[in-house]
Amino acid sequence: MKFITEPAKEIPVVKSADVVVVGGGPAGVGAAIRAAQNDADTVLIERFGSLGGNNTTGFMFISRGGQEYLGGLATEILDGLRPMGYAVDIRTLEWFPDAHYNPLTHYYSAAIGDLPPQERLAYDPDMTAYVMSNMVEELGVKIMLRNLFVDVLVEGDTIKAVIVENVSGRQAIEGKVFIDATGCGDVVARSGSPYVSAADEMGFRMPTGLMWKMSGVTYERLLEYQKEDPKLDKITEMARAEGELPYYRPKKTGKEMKAYERIYTGHPHLEMSPTLYPGEMLLWAPSVHEWAINAAENAEDLTRAEIHIRKQIVAELSFLKKYVPGFEKAHISGISPFMGIREGRHPIGEYVLRYEDIISRRKFDDVALRRKTFELLPTEEGLSAVIFDIPYRCFLAKKLNNLLVTGGNISMEHAAFLHVRGFGPSVRLGEVAGIAAALSVKNKIKPKELKWGAPLE
């Protein structure tokens, strides 16, 4: 490979803060709010023009609801949308076919073990970004939008500053404690802190994908047809027999995959959900699982995936309009500009959370957050929910004394990651990191010296 040498440059320091959060998705927003509420001067850096990450810019505006899944700031954010009608339980909509199962989507609300049926929340992505921005700004957090994180300045075992690129050029932001909420471990990678590339037992990562949406869907016609073909399997096979939908693959079953792979294998197939707006449908378009796309670390992979997925979307659009009742007059109304990288690097922290820790319900003295997972394999007794601990050590990056990781970046193996990701958990993990960062600054100690003895309520 050919290399060039970049000339040395003086980079202006445009901000100095107690806490610098890199990444304005749910975890970054949670971290910035809690840091500011604990009296830390806080900067929040985001590469796009609004906050919320994959859940807003990425169109992933469907989520489980209920206090047991959301909690904390996640509940506050969505509760702030409800009075305005910008967050609703889709099961309550008058055209929803059944209170317990929606055959259009994998979002179901049947009881799991001892759990009651859960809300399936649909929320407006732009209004969610607006609410998040207001919450952050009202606390005095300095928001830096359209700033691409590119590097860090490390001296010994301490990060001195992060480097960003924006319309003003290359700039530096100094801080006392830094939080990697990028979702892909970007700060960890640039700082030299160790990490592993995410992969399952077959060497595959959770596929990257694009969300897209259609408007003008006639639900009544669709639901009437679904009485004879609930999951549209017959009509899909009809199209495939005609040589259409070449990208579709059957989804593997739980018996074919390990327990933690039961819910999602990433094969392109028809997957969609109604939203809070009449006639609108949200659709998933992932890359092919076997391609093992590494979109978090390989620019060519990212480009390959995006180009191919857009072709998939066009093929699926044609299929829906040609074959599926209710889509005859529907039209595409948006493709997310944000490629959703579900799984990036996994930092190696002071403790690596493992799948075995989850299913064995292991308890930790430094438990920072207690979560409930809903995605374990069926047993002879039925599906079981597991409450598990996430220790504070999972937030502490190796080799550096002032870098915390959060959201999808906490220290965990691939199998554990599948039970931690999502809007609610990400916000809550961000809260832990923000509180830890602020307390460290306030007490003039390193985050690794902070004693965490009780889970966040």
List, for residues 28-76, the tens digit of each pLDDT value: 999 999 999 999 999 999 999 999 999 999 998 888 776 667 889 999 9
Can you list the alpha helix ranges (DSSP code H) found in 204-298?
219-225, 233-241
Regarding whether 184 and 238 lie in a shared domain, the answer is no
Residues listed for the chain: 457
What whole-number distance in Å separates Cα of residue 67 and Cα of residue 102?
Answer: 22
Report whether 264 contacts 244 (CB < 8 A): no
Q: What's the pLDDT at 312?
A: 92
Classify residue 5: in a domain, yes or no.
no
pLDDT for the residue numbered 262? 45
Handedness of CA 32, 33, 38, 39 (dihedral sign): positive
Give the contacts of 112 (CB within 8 A, at least 6 positions apart). 374, 383, 384, 385
pTM of the model: 0.92
Domain total in the chain: 2
CATH number for the domain spanning 52: value is 3.50.50.60
More reliable by pLDDT, 42 or 271 = 42
- Residue identified by tokens 């307390």 is 439
Distance of alpha carbon 316 from alpha carbon 244, whole angstroms:
9
pLDDT over 90 at 113, yes or no: no
- Measured between alpha carbons, how far is 32 from 16 in angstroms, rounded to an integer? 15
Question: What pLDDT, in 10s, does the model give residues 426-452?
Answer: 999 999 999 999 999 999 999 999 999
Number of Cβ within 10 Å of residue 215's Cβ equals 16
Q: How far apart are CA 132 and CA 35, in angstroms?
A: 15
The answer to which of 61-75, 82-96, 161-175, 244-258 has the lowest mean pLDDT is 244-258
Question: Which residues does 416 contact at the CB level (< 8 Å), separation at least 6?
Answer: 260, 353, 354, 355, 357, 358
Asked if residue 59 and residue 190 are part of one domain, the reply reads yes
pLDDT at 398 over 90: yes
Is the same domain home to 315 and 414?
no
Measured distance CA(252)–CA(267) in Å, rounded: 8
Whether residue 174 sits in one domain with residue 80: yes
Using the structure block, give the residue that is written with the tokens 């579900």: 342
Domain assignment present for residue 90? The answer is yes
Q: Contact, 106 vs 124, CB < 8 A?
A: no
Poorest-confidence range of 85-94, 184-193, 338-347? 85-94
330 and 352 assigned to the same domain: no
CB atoms within 10 A of CB 99: 11
Task: Report the alpha-carbon distance of residue 371 to residue 428 in Å, rounded.
Answer: 10
Flag whether 310 is in a domain: yes
Task: State how far the Cα of 378 lies from the Cα of 362, in Å rounded to an integer.
Answer: 21
Q: Are strands 345-347 and 195-197 parallel, antiparallel or unpaired?
A: antiparallel
> In this structure, are 328 and 349 located in the same domain?
no
- Determine the 3-state secondary structure of 32 from DSSP: helix
Amino acid at 348: I
Given a cut of 70, whether residue 380 has pLDDT beyond it is no
Q: State whether 126 and 233 are in the same domain.
A: no
The share of the chain scoring above pLDDT 70, in percent, equals: 86
Cα gap 88→279, rounded to integer Å? 15
Are 381 and 412 within one domain? yes
Give the domain-ending residue among 290, 306, 335: 335
List the structure tokens of 408: 């999808």
Could you tell me the maximum CA-CA distance found in the chain, to the nearest angstrom?
A: 68
User: Nearest to residue 139, comparing CAs of 50, 53, 40?
Assistant: 40
The phi-psi region of residue 92 (left if phi > 0; otherwise alpha if psi is between -120 and 50; otherwise beta) is alpha
Q: Domain for residue 7, yes or no?
A: no
Q: Which residue segment(s) compose the domain that 426 sits in?
A: 13-198+344-449
CB 343 within 8 A of CB 239: no
Q: What's the rounded mean pLDDT across residues 381-407?
A: 89
Q: Are 177 and 18 in contact (CB under 8 A)?
A: yes
Please report whether residue 393 resides in a domain: yes
CB 55 within 8 A of CB 77: no
Residue 96: phi, psi to the nearest 5?
-65, 130
66: left (phi over 0), alpha (psi -120 to 50) or beta: left
Q: Quick check: 274 pLDDT over 90? A: no
Taking the C-alpha atoms of residue 383 and residue 377, their distance in angstroms, rounded to an integer, is 7
Please tell me the predicted confidence (pLDDT) of residue 273: 84
Reduced to 3 states (helix: H, G, I; strand: E, B; else coil), residue 313 is helix
Do 285 and 265 belong to one domain? yes
- Six-digit token string for 320: 């829906």
> Of 335, 354, 387, which marks where a domain is finished?
335
